Amino acid sequence: MSAKTEQSKVQRVLTGVTTTGTPHLGNYAGAIRPAIDMSNQPDVDAFFFLADYHALIKCDDADRVERSRLEIAATWLAAGLDTDRATFYCQSDIPEIPELSWILTCSTPKGVMNRAHAYKASVDANEAAGVEPDDGVTMGLYSYPILMAADILMFNAHKVPVGADQIQHIEMARDIAQRFNYHYGKGNEFFVLPEAQVDNEVATLPGLDGRKMSKSYNNTIPLFEGTAKDLQQAIAQIKTDSKLPGEPKNPDDSNLFAIYRAFVEPAKAEAFAQELREGLGWGEAKKMLGNELETIIAPMRERYVELMAKPEQIEEILLAGAEKARKISQPFIQEIRQAVGLRRFHAIGSETPNKVKEKTTKKSVKTPRFVSFKDDTGQFMFRLISTEGEELLRSVSFPNPQIAGQEIKALQSDPGAIEFTLVNDLYQLSLNGQLVAVAVDETEVGAEVWKAKLLNQLALFSAE
């Protein structure tokens, strides 16, 4: 259909990985592979990051945090993440995130945090053990969901792929966003309300013992760490029933088959299942799984080893990703500071009794402003200059300055009436069905961020 429907399908998808461990086969099938696949879809703008501030909540072993950051970054890169497409960065390289986290902390009711599962689980465990309810609970653990909300809201993500255990956190992020929008957004959307994306199709691999593969159960199969032999040795430990070769086996009841199925085409999985039903021995089955996995993993493992030998190269990639991300977070945090009142004093001149404004030179006045000018043909136009001095909006041409002035007034006084249409990734603004102005997007922040920014700037006029 129209450009609008086409363009507005682009979704910002964001997810973080807490850097406390070494990725295993279950992480690959359940999170890394699906995320990378998603980032290659044309209508997805993917943001993936190492949640290393979150790691500090769970882990006070500095060397482990350091090692895990490196391993996880190398894993995602070796697994084929295209960092030209996706924005891949380290949370701790984005200082705007903890800044936003604090600002959000100040408007988040404590009662909401009391309900967080991770915190409640600790309290329950303490109560069961007969110690103080908050024993061992840090403020980091307690406010964990606010930091996570900041991760998500900082980049106005639409979709957040997570495991089911994280759904509550996404709901809290929505709640926090809504409260902020309502209070500071003057009725305009400030933050995009994110949605959890829990993919039931994605494989949750069983571990060696049949429980979910997890570091905390110590039942994992390595991904890129170690050698081909280590992989085979782990596979040899997968628990099976004691049926002998020749006896029919039930694939649906087999961890080994569940793992195999997660790595091959359905037809190949079915053929394997059939062999099991017909009596394939477990030893043979393990060999087949081992060969299959080794074929898939070997080339990635090779890249991983190469990357791990050059940490400075990984660092460079992450810093480039952070730079890309900060193109969004830096201007956006300025909007947010503005919204909550952390403003430069010289920007509030008009409200101060001693009329600071009159004494301030024009250059340093930090309010958004509409600037009128004449185009080449003598028609009248205007542009909107943001508090940071960038041009956000340029109008169409009007036959006389009165009409141009009326449109400026309308934009200032009732931003809610603006109709937004996406054309080639830039918003066009109409009032009462008439095209009035188009976005100027020099910063290439993306249409949604641009829109949030524009609405915030416009809100500053009615706030005056």
Minimum CB–partner distance for residue 142 and ligand TRP (Å): 14
**Is 163 marked within a binding site?**
yes
**Is 27 marked within a binding site?**
yes
Structure tokens at 457: 């700037």
Minimum CB–partner distance for residue 112 and ligand TRP (Å): 16
Rounded to whole angstroms, the Cα distance separating 92 from 360 reads 37
Taking the least distance from each CB to ligand TRP, the nearer of 38 and 280 is 38
Minimum CB–partner distance for residue 187 and ligand TRP (Å): 27
Taking the least distance from each CB to ligand TRP, the nearer of 71 and 151 is 151
List residues binding ligand TRP (CB under 6 A): 14-16, 18, 51, 54, 148, 151-152, 160, 162, 166
**Is 5 marked within a binding site?**
no
Taking the least distance from each CB to ligand TRP, the nearer of 25 and 152 is 152
Taking the least distance from each CB to ligand TRP, the nearer of 94 and 436 is 94
- Judge residue 266's burial from the number of C-beta atoms within 10 Å of its C-beta, 0-12 exposed, 13-18 middle, 19 or more buried: exposed
The kind and range of the H/E element at 70 are: helix 62-78
241 Cβ contact partners less than 8 Å away, ≥ 6 residues apart: 249, 253, 254
For 373, which DSSP code?
Answer: E
**Is 18 marked within a binding site?**
yes
How big is the CA angle at 184 (ends 182 and 185), to the nearest 5 degrees? Answer: 65
Taking the least distance from each CB to ligand TRP, the nearer of 16 and 446 is 16
CB 150 within 8 A of CB 98: yes
Taking the least distance from each CB to ligand TRP, the nearer of 16 and 349 is 16
**Is 164 marked within a binding site?**
yes
CB 206 within 8 A of CB 199: no
Strand 391-395's sheet: what is its strand order? 369-374, 380-385, 391-395, 434-439, 426-431, 419-423
What 3-state DSSP class applies to 431? strand
Minimal CB distance to ligand TRP: which residue?
16
Minimum CB–partner distance for residue 51 and ligand TRP (Å): 4
**Is 122 marked within a binding site?**
no
**Is 205 marked within a binding site?**
yes
Minimum CB–partner distance for residue 170 and ligand TRP (Å): 8
Minimum CB–partner distance for residue 296 and ligand TRP (Å): 24
* Residue list, annotated binding site for L-tryptophan: 151
